């Protein structure tokens, strides 16, 4: 049978399909007696056929809407009967495992060479024609096969689930999946709030709180290029903004270590994004959304076209346009550091002369009269409320083009090519630049030499527009020889980023204006536009990542064993990465105040890998997976990553599975750089912990040090081990339940070292002068860290069919992280971050009701409580600004409702209401500004109307 290369369909154990799972049964089983399925709606016929034959059909309702079938009579085997029902519909069924099939648009029929007949064949009798059903690949393995359950836990997000969620970006779809963490563009841009300079506004996600470096993202089975601008905190990022949801067919997630199969980045798992390909006809669609408060508007228009080519090939073309207005903190009342309504303190940044962030501050001249109770000017001019300025939701302007082409040639070969080009403009805003300004005594705004807490309100907020251009293409040839399939391809992935930033402050320009006394800090005065332009010029950052890949693979059966067929998949990859960073002169010279260090650099690396995987049927009920991968990275030698898995089916309704693997990840080009350190940064160290006498002794027991950064040329690869154990129970065709236990350990973790926090652990990070006195400390990336994460994952589905009231489907997916242990050094204390900052338990549940031409889906997303603190796990919940802190953010549940109607000819109309209960975010961490970037919905109740027309 034909194989669909790289169309990785997941194991059904954790499927999010609209229909529940079936009991395993022998394939090709005949019904007990004859039956008749009348001509009519294809959806009704498929439901009747599935019920009669006790099998599972997985498909999007939109795929079969308005399609009809000629019906079925008699007692055909399952595969033949299914093929007859689909005859003439343009659809085919893909065997995922025994009695489980996935419906999708029919690809071309690959011809198999046939021997020449000795005599002329008699004319075939007239009758219904059948279509050969294709087998598929399974994510978590490179061996294509039907009737196989991978030993790795696997999840499928179908196109119907994406549509019913109401989400319009891939980032929003993935960040709310149980076990996934989102990395918001604002957090990425400011290095998790450690910087006021928005440098890299990407949107990404990762599994099990291990960060983007441990999750591998693929598009159609091939890795994506990393984001063109580097992030010290996150390492090498994958930007999800460049893939429009209208082009996504489905998403597959392999949980747990998959480094042996897919590569070094897969320590926590793999996210494989499958784009649409084989499609016949045309489709146009549009959507419009707006919040209940009349803001955060968004619009999407898309069109796609697919057709067969002469000779059995196909071509597919899709375009997409998406815009979304930004949402700023000032548009939501809860976005504030003034937490007095929650019984806490007013944490807004006070402008004035003093000795600290908010204590002992004397108002400057513009705020000298009264306080905020009697003089509103004190509040508006003298307190900076950071969350009021920041982007709760970035503005997006995206355009995308995607095309796929394939054409058979010869008897058993096929040429294929794809091209995807996107251009995304992302607008991110943060609060106006703020700092402690030291004024000379000669300046009229100076006050007894005290530092001035000041924010440049006349300059305005810091605004960043990041334009990301993605260009991906692939060309390849695949074919078969006997029962062996092979594939050779060449691909290039290119991610180019240009970042234009307004609102940053030029330190030399401020010094010059202060010296000439043309820059005023008394808010009663007005700085001229010319002065403001000189102290805050436009700054730019640029970067590009280019990934070239040459790969090949072959897979097929090796031998027939008593328990089944022994299969092998093997292949190779050769990659070249080139990273270019282009900061402007202001960053290179260090003129931008409090900016992280940037370098003009061009770096490249060659990597290669070979891999092999076998599936061994040890018994009719016991299967073993084994995989080995050898990675070779420039400068780091060879490393072997093995993986072993077992699947045991002692009962037809019960499957036990387990896997163990090792991972390896060489330092990325993004990590071979200096970590973030602010310009002119000063640090303070207890003199008792200083390795040398203090050069600058403050007289209070502390040394003042210059904190700088450097590149560590001796970084080593990270390593990991992973363990998974799971149970899948299907007591009936209407119900399935799976529970999985995972544990992942990462060692030699690459982290920025903090010498001032742990001076005795990093003595080599301190710098002495020529006289032996301590003058500075250096930050750098080192292999000192370790992380251990463990938890549970649950998936349950149930379906209930009625003759009168339609069909119901229930789904629950949950994740509970019981441990997230982190060390910054082997001798440092081990801290448990499970539930700290983000929930350690989440649940995603849905109820789906289909009745005639209507489909209604109610989704619920539960987030457990979180611990917040100004320090780290285990630190006491103390006071802040003489007010008690609330260190436990409550749990929350968000509800979404989706309605779809397909009763109009060729039309599908939808209405989605997100955050149906209009839940307002609650977060007691002052630095968060009232909500969690990772989990909360800042928009509130939101309405999205969509329409799709098929030709």
pLDDT digit string (tens) for 826-884? 999 899 999 998 899 999 999 999 998 899 999 999 999 998 876 778 777 777 766 77
The answer to whether residues 506 and 537 touch, using CB atoms and an 8 Å cutoff, is: yes
For residue 396, pLDDT beyond 90: yes
- Please tell me the least confidently modeled range out of 31-35, 438-442, 763-767, 810-814: 31-35
Q: Which of 312, 277, 239, 283 is nearest to 418 (CA)?
A: 277
- Coil vs helix vs strand at 564: strand
Annotate 425-485 with three-state secondary structure. EEEEEEEECEEEECCCCCCCCCCCCCEEEEECCCCCEEEEEEEEEEEEEEEEEEEEECCEE
Alpha-carbon distance 540 to 196, whole Å? 15
Q: Which residues pair with 842 in a beta bridge?
A: 815, 863
Tell me how crowded residue 459 is: count the other CB atoms within 10 A of its CB. 18
Alpha-carbon distance 82 to 301, whole Å? 35
Q: Which of 318, 251, 243 is nearest to 279 (CA)?
A: 318
What tokens does 217 get? Answer: 């993202």
Distance set, CA 235 to CA 668, 762, 924 (Å): 7, 22, 28
**Predicted confidence band of residue 361 (pLDDT cuts 50, 70, 90):** low
Would you state the pLDDT for residue 96? Answer: 56
Selected residue with higher pLDDT from 599 and 847? 847
Contacts of residues 73-76 at CB distance under 8 Å and 24 or more positions apart, as own/partner, are 73/34, 73/35, 73/36, 73/37, 74/34, 75/30, 75/31, 75/33, 75/34, 75/35
- Please tell me the least confidently modeled range out of 563-572, 586-595, 910-919, 925-934: 925-934
For residue 603, pLDDT beyond 70: yes
Question: What digits encode the pLDDT tens for the residues 461-476?
Answer: 999 999 999 999 999 9
The answer to whether residues 714 and 730 touch, using CB atoms and an 8 Å cutoff, is: no
For residue 108, pLDDT beyond 60: no
What's the angle, vertex CA 823, arms to CA 783 and CA 201, rounded to 5? 70
- What is the number of H-type helices and E-type strands within the chain? 11, 55
Would you state the pLDDT for residue 43? Answer: 76
Distance set, CA 62 to CA 93, 115, 285, 537 (Å): 16, 41, 13, 52
Q: What's CA 555's distance to the chain center, in Å?
A: 30
- Please tell me the least confidently modeled range out of 1-5, 236-240, 569-573: 1-5
Annotate 283-348 with three-state secondary structure. EEEEEEEEECCCCCCEEEEEEEEEEEECCCEEEEEEEEEEEECCEEHHHCCCCCCECHHHCCCECC
Would you state the pLDDT for residue 343? Answer: 80
Burial class of residue 253 in the structure, from the number of CB atoms within 10 Å of its CB (0-12 exposed, 13-18 middle, 19+ buried): buried
**Predicted confidence band of residue 435 (pLDDT cuts 50, 70, 90):** confident
Would you state the pLDDT for residue 818? Answer: 95
Alpha-carbon distance 765 to 771, whole Å? 18
What's the angle, vertex CA 875, arms to CA 871 and CA 879, rounded to 5? 75
For residue 292, pLDDT beyond 70: yes
Would you state the pLDDT for residue 879? Answer: 72
- The label of the residue with tokens 């993935």 reads 174
DSSP 82: H
Q: Which residues pair with 897 in a beta bridge?
A: 858, 913
Alpha-carbon distance 428 to 499, whole Å? 11
Alpha-carbon distance 276 to 62, whole Å? 14
**Predicted confidence band of residue 913 (pLDDT cuts 50, 70, 90):** very high
**Predicted confidence band of residue 99 (pLDDT cuts 50, 70, 90):** low
The answer to whether residues 777 and 685 touch, using CB atoms and an 8 Å cutoff, is: yes
**Predicted confidence band of residue 629 (pLDDT cuts 50, 70, 90):** very high
What tokens does 695 get? Answer: 């050069």
The runs of H, that is alpha helices, within 360-441 are 376-382
Alpha-carbon distance 916 to 919, whole Å? 8
Would you state the pLDDT for residue 54? Answer: 62
Dihedral over Cα of 8, 12, 13, 18: its sign: positive
- Coil vs helix vs strand at 560: strand
The answer to whether residues 147 and 27 touch, using CB atoms and an 8 Å cutoff, is: yes
For residue 923, pLDDT beyond 90: no
User: Average pLDDT over the chain, rounded to whole?
Assistant: 82
What tokens does 923 get? Answer: 């977060």
DSSP 675: P
- The label of the residue with tokens 């696997």 reads 154
Q: Which residues pair with 836 in a beta bridge?
A: 867
For residue 894, pLDDT beyond 70: yes
Alpha-carbon distance 208 to 859, whole Å? 22
The answer for residues whose C-beta is within 8 angstroms of residue 605's C-beta and 6 or more apart is 576, 577, 633, 634, 635, 669
Alpha-carbon distance 48 to 81, whole Å? 12
The answer to whether residues 569 and 141 touch, using CB atoms and an 8 Å cutoff, is: yes
Q: Which of 596, 577, 744, 733 is nearest to 662 (CA)?
A: 744
Would you state the pLDDT for residue 739? Answer: 96
Residues recorded for the chain: 951
DSSP 721: E
Report the percentage of the chain scoring pLDDT > 70. Answer: 84
SS3 content of the chain, % helix, strand, coil (to 5): 10, 50, 40
Tell me how crowded residue 610 is: count the other CB atoms within 10 A of its CB. 14
The answer to whether residues 470 and 402 touch, using CB atoms and an 8 Å cutoff, is: no
Alpha-carbon distance 558 to 615, whole Å? 10
Alpha-carbon distance 147 to 138, whole Å? 10
- Coil vs helix vs strand at 572: strand
Q: Which of 36-50, 114-128, 256-270, 277-291 has the highest mean pLDDT?
A: 277-291
The runs of H, that is alpha helices, within 484-641 are 507-515, 529-535, 585-588
Selected residue with higher pLDDT from 190 and 290? 290
Q: Which residues pair with 236 in a beta bridge?
A: none
Distance in Å from the first CA to the final CA of the chain: 31
**Predicted confidence band of residue 578 (pLDDT cuts 50, 70, 90):** very high
Q: Which of 811, 902, 946 is nearest to 62 (CA)?
A: 902
The answer for residues whose C-beta is within 8 angstroms of residue 125's C-beta and 6 or more apart is none
Q: What is the CA radius of gyration of the chain?
A: 30
Alpha-carbon distance 210 to 181, whole Å? 9
Alpha-carbon distance 438 to 449, whole Å? 7
Would you state the pLDDT for residue 539? Answer: 93
Would you state the pLDDT for residue 87? Answer: 84
What tokens does 36 get? Answer: 């008749």
The H or E element that residue 101 is part of is strand 100-105
**Predicted confidence band of residue 199 (pLDDT cuts 50, 70, 90):** confident
Torsion of the alpha carbons at 500, 501, 506 and 510, rounded to the nearest 10: 130
Would you state the pLDDT for residue 122? Answer: 33
Distance set, CA 612 to CA 17, 513, 776 (Å): 31, 66, 50
What is the average per-residue pLDDT within 152-173? Answer: 86
Q: Which residues of 672-709 are buried (b: 16+ CB within 10 A; e: fewer)?
A: bbbbbbbbebebebeeeebebebbeeeeeebbbbebbb
């Amino acid at each position: 049978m034909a194989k669909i290369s790289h169309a990785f369909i997941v194991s059904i154990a954790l499927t999010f399909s609209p229909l529940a799972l079936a009991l395993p049964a022998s394939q090709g089983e005949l019904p007990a007696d004859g039956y008749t399925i009348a001509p009519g709606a294809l959806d009704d016929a498929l439901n009747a056929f599935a019920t009669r034959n006790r099998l599972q059909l997985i498909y999007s309702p939109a795929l079969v809407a308005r399609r009809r079938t000629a019906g079925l009579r008699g007692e055909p085997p399952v595969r033949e009967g299914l093929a007859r029902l689909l005859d003439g519909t343009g659809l085919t069924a893909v065997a995922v495992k025994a009695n489980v099939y996935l419906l999708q648009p029919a690809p071309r029929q690959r011809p198999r060479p046939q021997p020449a007949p000795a005599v002329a064949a008699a004319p075939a009798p007239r009758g219904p024609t059948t279509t050969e059903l294709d087998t598929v690949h399974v994510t978590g393995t490179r061996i294509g096969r039907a009737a196989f359950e991978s030993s790795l836990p696997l999840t499928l997000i179908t196109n119907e689930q994406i549509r019913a969620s109401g989400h319009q970006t891939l980032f929003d779809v993935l960040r709310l999946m149980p076990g996934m963490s989102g990395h918001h563009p604002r957090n990425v841009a400011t290095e998790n709030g450690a910087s006021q300079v928005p440098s890299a506004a990407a949107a990404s996600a990762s599994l099990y709180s291990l960060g983007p470096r441990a999750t591998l993202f693929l598009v159609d089975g091939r890795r994506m290029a990393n984001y063109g601008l580097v992030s010290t905190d996150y390492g090498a990022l994958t930007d999800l903004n460049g893939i429009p949801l209208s082009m996504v067919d489905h998403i597959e997630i392999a949980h747990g270590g998959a480094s042996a199969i897919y590569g070094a980045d897969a320590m926590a798992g793999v996210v494989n994004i499958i784009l649409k390909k084989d499609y016949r006809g045309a489709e146009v669609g549009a959507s419009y959304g707006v919040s209940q408060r009349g803001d955060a508007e968004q619009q999407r228009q898309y069109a796609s076209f697919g057709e067969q080519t002469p000779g059995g090939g196909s071509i597919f073309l899709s375009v997409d346009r998406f815009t979304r207005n930004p949402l700023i903190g000032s548009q939501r009342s809860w976005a504030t550091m003034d937490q007095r309504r929650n019984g806490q303190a007013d944490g807004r940044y006070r402008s004035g002369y003093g000795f600290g962030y908010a204590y002992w501050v004397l108002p400057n001249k513009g705020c000298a009269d009264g306080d905020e109770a009697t003089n509103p000017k004190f509040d508006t001019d003298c307190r900076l409320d950071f969350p009021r300025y920041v982007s709760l939701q970035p503005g997006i302007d995206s355009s995308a083009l995607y095309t796929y082409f394939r054409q058979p040639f010869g008897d058993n070969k096929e040429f294929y090519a794809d091209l995807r080009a996107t251009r995304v403009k992302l607008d991110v805003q943060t609060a106006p630049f703020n700092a402690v300004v030291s004024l000379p005594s000669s300046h009229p705004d100076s006050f007894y030499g005290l530092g001035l807490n000041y924010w440049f309100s006349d300059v305005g907020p810091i605004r960043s527009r990041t334009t990301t251009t993605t260009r991906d293409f692939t060309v390849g040839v695949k074919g078969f020889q006997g029962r062996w399939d092979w594939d050779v391809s060449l691909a290039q992935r290119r991610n180019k980023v240009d970042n234009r930033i307004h609102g940053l402050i030029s330190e030399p320009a401020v010094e010059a204006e202060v010296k000439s006394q043309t820059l005023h800090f008394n808010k009663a005065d007005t700085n001229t536009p010319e002065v403001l332009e000189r102290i805050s010029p436009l700054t730019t950052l640029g970067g590009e990542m280019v990934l070239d890949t040459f790969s090949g693979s072959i897979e097929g059966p090796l031998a027939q064993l008593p328990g089944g067929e022994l299969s092998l998949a093997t292949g190779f990859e050769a990659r070249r990465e080139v990273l270019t960073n282009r900061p402007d002169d202001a960053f290179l010279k260090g003129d931008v105040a409090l900016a992280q260090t940037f370098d003009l650099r061009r770096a490249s690396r060659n990597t290669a890998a070979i891999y092999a995987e076998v599936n061994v049927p040890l018994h009719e009920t016991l299967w073993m997976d084994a995989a080995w991968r050898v990675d070779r990275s420039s400068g780091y030698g060879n490393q072997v990553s093995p993986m072993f898995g077992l699947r045991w089916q002692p009962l037809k309704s019960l499957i036990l599975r387990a896997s163990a693997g090792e991972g390896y990840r060489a330092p990325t080009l993004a990590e071979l750089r200096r970590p973030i350190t602010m310009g002119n940064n000063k640090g303070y160290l207890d003199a008792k912990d200083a390795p040398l006498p203090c050069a600058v002794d403050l007289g209070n027991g502390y040394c003042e040090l210059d904190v700088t950064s450097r590149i560590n040329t001796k970084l080593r690869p990270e390593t990991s081990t992973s363990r998974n154990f799971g149970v899948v129970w299907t007591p009936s065709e209407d119900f399935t339940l799976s529970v999985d236990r995972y544990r992942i350990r990462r060692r030699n973790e690459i982290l920025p070292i903090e010498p001032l926090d742990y001076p005795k652990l990093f003595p080599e990070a301190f710098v002495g002068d020529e006289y032996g006195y301590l003058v500075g400390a250096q930050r750098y990336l080192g292999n000192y860290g370790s992380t251990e994460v463990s938890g549970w994952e649950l998936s349950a589905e149930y379906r209930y069919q009625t003759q009168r009231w339609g069909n119901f489907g229930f789904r629950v997916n949950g994740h509970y992280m019981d441990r997230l242990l982190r060390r910054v050094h082997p001798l440092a204390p081990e801290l448990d971050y499970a539930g700290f900052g983000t929930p350690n338990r989440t649940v995603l549940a849905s109820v789906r009701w289909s009745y005639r031409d209507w489909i209604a889906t109610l989704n619920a997303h539960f987030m457990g409580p979180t611990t917040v603190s100004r320090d780290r796990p285990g630190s006491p919940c103390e006071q802040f600004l003489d007010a008690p802190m609330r260190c436990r953010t409550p749990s929350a549940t968000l509800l979404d409702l989706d309605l779809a109607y397909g009763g109009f000819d060729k039309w599908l109309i939808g209405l989605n209401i997100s955050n149906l209960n209009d839940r307002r975010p609650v977060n007691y961490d002052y630095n968060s500004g009232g909500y969690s970037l990772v989990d909360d919905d800042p928009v509130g109740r939101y309405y999205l109307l969509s329409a799709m027309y098929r030709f």
